[in-house]
Amino acid sequence: MKAIQKRLFTGIAATAACLCLAACQPSDEKIAQAQEKYAQLTQTHNQVVEAHTKVEDDSLDEELVALQEKTREMERCNLAEMKDDEIDELIRTMDSLISDYEEYRAALSGIKGEEEAAVITSITLALVNETEFSFSGLKLYEKGDNGTHVNILEELETFSPQQSLTGLIIQRDVDHTPWILVLTDEEGGEFQTELPVGEYQEEGVSLAVSWDGEQNEITVNPL
């Protein structure tokens, strides 16, 4: 049913002549108001379609398809055969449809958040410094995260040789997106490596931070 409903609930194109017109028309102002409202309706509809494609839950599918059919009925209205007060009523109907779409968009947003939370696994991480370096900076973040990254050691002592650092938390998403570990030594040298979170157990993992003299880089491997 999900695949069928996904195909049925699709985007609607908004055009300048979105509602049917004929030679004899009501006031230009009313026509413009109706067409502007229809453009808003189709835009909101298409936003909900996009949100709908990003969730697996299919509990709203039938309701969304029914709402789409009501929206398509607006497209078949012939403004030329309507009086101004009838167009006003049509605009109110489209406002109601827009309100319904907004409610569904909020519901889909909530569903998406729940689905994402369900597939994110927190993993406890411990690091053991097996290098000869003392590190004054340590950052952990998901690959692709371009935000500001906090120095975990900012208010702590340096991460010294043979020292263990416990209680770190990383998260594994459904795509097993790697995490980035950045270490900065006391001289300002920065070392970066990827953590393959898909290989780590949910119970947690202890990693040895070592120095590869041949490659001139930091390596991180499970203990």
Q: Is the pLDDT of residue 206 over 90?
A: yes
User: In the predicted model, what is the mean pLDDT of residues 38-55?
Assistant: 94
Give the model's confidence band at 56: pLDDT under 50 very low, under 70 low, under 90 confident, else very high: confident
What pLDDT, on a 0 to 100 scale, did the predictor assign at position 120? 82
User: In the predicted model, what is the mean pLDDT of residues 75-93?
Assistant: 90
Q: Is the pLDDT of residue 84 over 50?
A: yes
Q: Is the pLDDT of residue 24 over 80?
A: no
pLDDT in tens, 149-197: 999 999 888 999 999 999 999 999 878 899 999 999 999 999 999 999 9
What pLDDT, on a 0 to 100 scale, did the predictor assign at position 40? 96
How, if at all, do strands 217-222 and 190-195 pair? unpaired
Sign of the dihedral defined by the CA atoms of residues 124, 128, 129, 135, in that order? positive
pTM over 0.95: no
Give the model's confidence band at 25: pLDDT under 50 very low, under 70 low, under 90 confident, else very high: low
Q: Is the pLDDT of residue 16 over 50?
A: no
How, if at all, do strands 205-212 and 179-185 pair? unpaired
What pLDDT, on a 0 to 100 scale, did the predictor assign at position 19? 60
Tell me the HSE value of 122 on the side-chain side, using a 13 A CA sphere.
5
Q: Is the pLDDT of residue 6 over 70?
A: no
Q: How far is CA 204 from CA 71, 117, 120, 128, 143, in A?
A: 51, 19, 14, 14, 19
Q: Is the pLDDT of residue 51 over 50?
A: yes
User: In the predicted model, what is the mean pLDDT of residues 41-48?
Assistant: 95
What pLDDT, on a 0 to 100 scale, did the predictor assign at position 2? 45
